[in-house]
Chain A
Amino acid sequence: MEIDVRAILAQMLNFGLLTAVLTYFLLKPIKSVLEARSRRIAEGQQAAEDALAEKAKIGEIKTKAEKDAKQEAKNILASARQEADARREELMAVAKADVEAAKAKMLKNLDKEKAAEVQVWQKQFEAIVLQVSEQLVGESLDAKKHAKLIDQGLQRIASSK
């Protein structure tokens, strides 16, 4: 069997040309398509990761906002409760003071009325006692007793300042 060198060389040249043509017209576009696809995938992955990170961030913000809102509501409630308690205490103190003042005033008025009534009765009683005493003493004094009373009176005046 004879080896056809020219045929082998022609085959080799043919193969080289085919490889060059395929490389130029097929491999490059496929490669660029694959690269573009890889790039798109990488971008998609990045976007998905970014979206996940954003979602997590939004979740954190939401949780924090909820927590802050709850805390603020709690603070407002506590403050309102405290204010209501203080107001209630204040109103109670004012009401208590008013009641005490009214009570004191009433007692004072009662005491005053009582004292005035007692004074009237006392004056009437004194007037009666005085009238009766005058009548009794006046009727029972004779000249001798008058003289004695005058002597005693003179002694009292002499010893007084």
Chain B
Amino acid sequence: MATVIITSAHELSATQRTEAEKIASKKLGHSNFEVQTVIDASLIGGITMQIGSKMYDASLRGQLESLRR
């Protein structure tokens, strides 16, 4: 079973969680996965999703880091 880790700076709403699960299902190509949610204030804002071995970063911290690079 695959694991999906959803990290955000603020708690997700039920709608947002459902939407995140839909995205994970679409990316994996199946619905057989476990979801873990993490609150991390260091992200500043936005969300990151680790779907299987791939990391998707849509956080403000990530954007600032990419600016630094």
**Chain A residues engaging chain B, CB cutoff 8 angstroms:** 126-127, 130, 133-134, 137-138, 141, 143, 145-147, 149-154, 156-158, 160
Cross-chain contact B16 with A157 (CB below 8 angstroms): no
Contact count band on B: 20 to 34
Alpha-carbon distance A158/B61, docked complex (angstroms): 19
B45:A146 contact, CB within 8 angstroms: yes
Q: Given A147-B10, A158-B23, are A153 and B58 also a contact pair (CB < 8 Å)?
A: yes
In addition to A147-B13, A149-B47, A150-B46, 10 A-B residue pairs with Cβ atoms within 8 Å of each other are A127-B68, A130-B68, A137-B60, A141-B10, A145-B45, A146-B9, A147-B16, A150-B8, A157-B23, A157-B58
Q: Is A154 in contact with B47, judged by CB distance below 8 angstroms?
A: yes
Q: Per a CB cutoff under 8 Å, which of A134, A154, A156, A158 touches B44?
A: A134
Q: In the complex, what distance in Å separates the CA atom of A150 from the CA atom of B46?
A: 4
30 contacts between A and B (CB under 8 A): A126-B67, A126-B68, A127-B68, A130-B65, A130-B68, A133-B64, A134-B61, A137-B45, A137-B60, A141-B9, A143-B10, A145-B45, A149-B46, A149-B47, A150-B12, A150-B47, A151-B16, A152-B46, A152-B58, A153-B8, A153-B46, A153-B47, A154-B16, A154-B20, A156-B56, A156-B58, A157-B23, A157-B47, A157-B58, A160-B56
CB nearest to A156 among chain B residues:
B58
Binding site for A on B (CB under 8 A): 8-10, 12-13, 16, 19-20, 23, 26, 41, 44-49, 56, 58-61, 64-65, 67-68
**Of the residues B13, B23, B60, B65, contact of A149 by C-beta under 8 Å:** B60
User: Which residues of chain A are within 8 angstroms of B8 by Cβ–Cβ distance?
Assistant: 146, 150, 153
Give Cα A154–Cα B19 distance, bound, in whole angstroms: 8
B44 to chain A: closest CB distance in Å? 5
Partner of B10, one of A126, A127, A137, A150: A150
Contact A137 B59 (CB under 8 A): no
Q: Is the CB of B10 within 8 A of A138?
A: no
